Chains A and B, each alone.
Chain A
Amino acid sequence: MDFSFKHKRISGILTILPKKAVKFEDEMTNYSFSPAKCMKLKLAMGYNEHRIAEPGQCSSDFCKFGLQYLFDNNLLNKDEIDALLFVSQSADYYMPPTSNLIHGHFGLKQDCLCLDINQGCAGFELGLIQAFLLLEQPAVKKVILMNADVLSPKVSDQDRNSKPLIGDAAAITIVEKGEEENPIYANIKMDGTGAMVLNIPAGGFRMPSTPETAVMEQDAAGNFRSKNNLVMQGDDVFNFVQREVPPMIEHLYVQSGVDRNEVDWYMFHQPNKFMLHKLADKLGIPHEKMPANIVENFGNASGVTVPTCISYNLGDQLVNGKMRLCMAGFGVGLTWSSIMMEMGSLQFNKIIEF
């Protein structure tokens, strides 16, 4: 499904990372691999260290910390917020919505739309599309997009498929109406037949958490996890990404009329270095135009990886200049989405720690 928008802009990106950094080497004794094989895995995938939230810290805490930072530094005015989007797979409660909790925490105005969206690796793109759609309304002038996930407590320490790469983080993106035309092209696709390729079996209404669901079991590859833990069928995810993402980007070139060489940066979701390099090779994009350094330095925090990649790799370059970005997310759902747009003259684009 294709979308196009005009007169919309991103005016700021703030990424909020946990202070706690955990090294791959400190965890590899948990995995059923020899030390030598673990080190090969580290090199191939680009694992190094990842940021992990402290016990008790929720996704909403990172969002609240970031919003408070923006209010304190006069980068955002509470009264300007017309919509608050919370895109996450780690809500505080089944009910109420986490966006409403954040709304209440800050005493935001009543004329404000709060919306929780359950989405993972394509959550930045899906959230932006939703923000752009809302901004078509005369009453909506500024949307606050919060991508946040604290999923590390749901990943087994003995799961080498997921543990080395998981990261916790949040990002706050300010999306607003703009005077310049600034054409934006986006597309999104879904395939629910693959929905369980990435899942947490227990803890919802379908399979409530019980002492039985907490029992650790070994899979065929030697990983140990319980039904309360996140499970990723890595091979299926890899094949899905390699099959679906290149045609999506090729379609985006046609849709936008932008040649691949006219794109300054390819800011893609960050599952691991190997997967990103394969995508870049397939699309004929130089590796240096598609940064693959977020898992290595911070871990994969689902829909937060793209804004983290933008903040970490571009920083003030997007405050002082303008660039054409091609962004893409792909994963749980299965969902894959991409956006082509120019971004620049941001009020802020940085990383802070909580």
Chain B
Amino acid sequence: MKDQIIRILTELRPEFDFTQEGMNFIEEGMLDSFDIVNLVNDLDSTFGISIDGVDILPENFATVDSIEQLLKKNGAK
């Protein structure tokens, strides 16, 4: 799942390296609110889910781990 997340993030913002440890994508300015909208659309279609709107908060998209947790919470396998 992590590899798929990194691939989607890289397609969205190819100028950044999303594999670096300890990066906070929001604080580092790697993802803005419109990136998150596109990311949600991509994650929804890739994993066949619909991420709950109440979970679309910046902190849930700050790291690969937080995105993975979000996906699992919303039924991704």
Contacts and interface: CB of A to CB of B under 8 A. Distances in A.
Contacts of B32: 221
Contacts, number: 46
A221 B29 CA distance: 10
A44 B54 contact: no
B35 to A, nearest CB: 8
What size tier do the contact residues of chain A reach?
20 to 34
Contacts of A44: 34, 37-38, 41
B29 to A, nearest CB: 10
A274 B41 contact: yes
What size tier do the contact residues of chain B reach?
10 to 19
The B interface, classified by DSSP as helix, strand, loop or mixed, is helix
A279 B52 CA distance: 9
A296 to B, nearest CB: 15
A278 B38 contact: no
A243 B58 contact: no
B53 interface: yes
A239 interface: yes
A221 B33 contact: yes
A45 B56 CA distance: 15
Contacts of A277: 50
A274 B37 contact: yes
Interface string A33-69: 1000100110011000000000000000000000000
B37 A239 contact: no
Interface string B40-77: 11000000001011101110000000000000000000
A213 interface: no
Contact of A235 (B38, B41, B52, B58): B58
B38 A243 contact: no
A235 B53 contact: no
B56 A278 contact: yes
Interface of B: 32-34, 37-38, 40-41, 50, 52-54, 56-58
Given A282-B52, A282-B54, 6 more contacts: A41-B34, A44-B41, A239-B54, A239-B56, A241-B53, A274-B37
28 contacts: A33-B34, A41-B37, A41-B38, A44-B41, A221-B32, A221-B33, A238-B53, A238-B56, A239-B54, A239-B56, A239-B57, A242-B52, A242-B53, A242-B54, A243-B54, A246-B53, A274-B37, A274-B40, A274-B41, A275-B53, A278-B50, A278-B53, A278-B56, A279-B53, A281-B53, A282-B50, A282-B53, A282-B54
Which 10 residue pairs across A and B have the least CB separation, nearest first? A242-B53, A281-B50, A278-B53, A44-B37, A242-B54, A40-B38, A243-B54, A44-B38, A41-B34, A235-B33
